A and B are shown apart, each in its own frame.
Chain A
């Protein structure tokens, strides 16, 4: 999805936020609460998975994504996943806040659950696949030109770029299909090295970036 979350290379973002000395894990109590609820939302509460969880965070409205605290995205994610799986009715949270404040608000009844009919093949994201890796260390590869309204882990800044395979990582569940409960589609992952000039043009600072990319994001050059 070409959304606000896809930030690599975006300009005019201002200075970096400097590290806070002795930063607490959670800055306010609600951040810890929504972290814990969010962790349960991924699987136990909704039957979803890590990739669906990320896709829900990616759909945070852009103004909120950039302006509100980080854990607001977890709140949005929880609301999205819980609503889509029929645990919560749309608007249930806002209605409850108002009711708690004494407003005469009728809360929507709990809907019929609509959990995905989808089970992981195993714990976590690592999988064994029978096919050998299509690409080898040292091989030149090009990323595909992918634009989808669904989930993907191929960011905009690296599409249609040439790089060199530096490491072959284990096979992993493909987020693009797993997020939508279509299939795990496990495939090899490659750490691909891109020169800064390939990504940002001849005036770029000299450096290189390694990006972990799924096999179907790549083609041989």
Chain B
């Protein structure tokens, strides 16, 4: 039995499950396709990047964002499942924030979409709460000893967005150009935002 079960791949089993549920009228393949398309096209880190860029250029928005992340994100139209209560963590020269969910893969969907593979990977979840400086260095982010590292393990329904530092040399850039610089990884805290041409 065990060998037989092994030969059934997740792809085959998923297809069989969808077929059973569709036959019984419990799911509609068109509805499934719509859900998938929404996460592939409309919900992703470009949303969070716009929030960050706006916070960099608009001090009032930045203040509202730090006060109530969900309300400020909703001003730009970003809300929904896994974004009911959003806390924004501001990085500085002295403080670097990094986010994890050690029990699963909690993530602020309305702002960042579905999490990338590295965030869901057991090694990241196990290690970043134990040796974050070492883990960040593996990702290529070397932080000086003067930088205080704060790890956030999001185990309830609080969802976190890291507000990265605006890089030097971007003073002439507009909001849209700035948003183009902000990466998903910087908004989780395993990278910083770089000025263009570096």
Interface, chain A (partner B; CB < 8 A): 5-11, 13-20, 23-30, 32-37, 39-40, 45, 54, 57-58, 65-66, 68-72, 75, 78-79, 87-88, 92-94, 96-97, 100, 110, 124-126, 153-155, 157, 167, 169-170, 172, 189, 191, 199-200, 204-214
Instruction: Determine the chain B residues whose CB is within 8 A of the CB of A37 once the complex forms.
Output: 14, 17-18, 21, 27, 32
Instruction: Determine the chain A residues whose CB is within 8 A of the CB of B125 once the complex forms.
Output: 7-8
- In the complex, the number of residue pairs spanning A and B with C-beta atoms less than 8 Å apart equals 222
Instruction: Determine the chain A residues whose CB is within 8 A of the CB of B47 once the complex forms.
Output: none
Contact of A94 among B13, B14, B129, B154 (CB under 8 A): B13
CB distance from B149 to the nearest CB of A (A): 4
C-alpha gap A10/B8 in the complex (Å) = 30
Instruction: Determine the chain A residues whose CB is within 8 A of the CB of B39 once the complex forms.
Output: 25, 32, 35
Q: Which of B84, B124, B153, B154 counts the most A-chain CB atoms under 10 A from its CB?
A: B153
Q: Is the CB of B44 within 8 A of A211?
A: no
Q: Is the CB of A97 within 8 A of B8?
A: yes
Q: Which of B81, B87, B114, B155 counts the most A-chain CB atoms under 10 A from its CB?
A: B155
Q: Is the CB of B118 within 8 A of A17?
A: yes
C-alpha gap A39/B34 in the complex (Å) = 12
CB distance from B180 to the nearest CB of A (A): 14
**Residues 91-131 of chain B: 1 if any A CB is under 8 Å from the residue's CB, otherwise 0?**
00000000000111100000001101110111111110111
C-alpha gap A212/B89 in the complex (Å) = 14
Contact of A191 among B103, B131, B158 (CB under 8 A): B158
Q: Is the CB of B85 within 8 A of A169?
A: yes
C-alpha gap A42/B10 in the complex (Å) = 19
Q: Is the CB of B118 within 8 A of A19?
A: yes
Q: Is the CB of B157 within 8 A of A126?
A: yes
C-alpha gap A154/B155 in the complex (Å) = 8
Instruction: Determine the chain A residues whose CB is within 8 A of the CB of B14 once the complex forms.
Output: 30, 33-34, 37, 75
C-alpha gap A78/B32 in the complex (Å) = 14
Instruction: Determine the chain A residues whose CB is within 8 A of the CB of B19 once the complex forms.
Output: 96, 100
Q: Which of A24, A208, A212 counts the most B-chain CB atoms under 10 A from its CB?
A: A212
Instruction: Determine the chain B residues whose CB is within 8 A of the CB of A153 once the complex forms.
Output: 103, 155-156
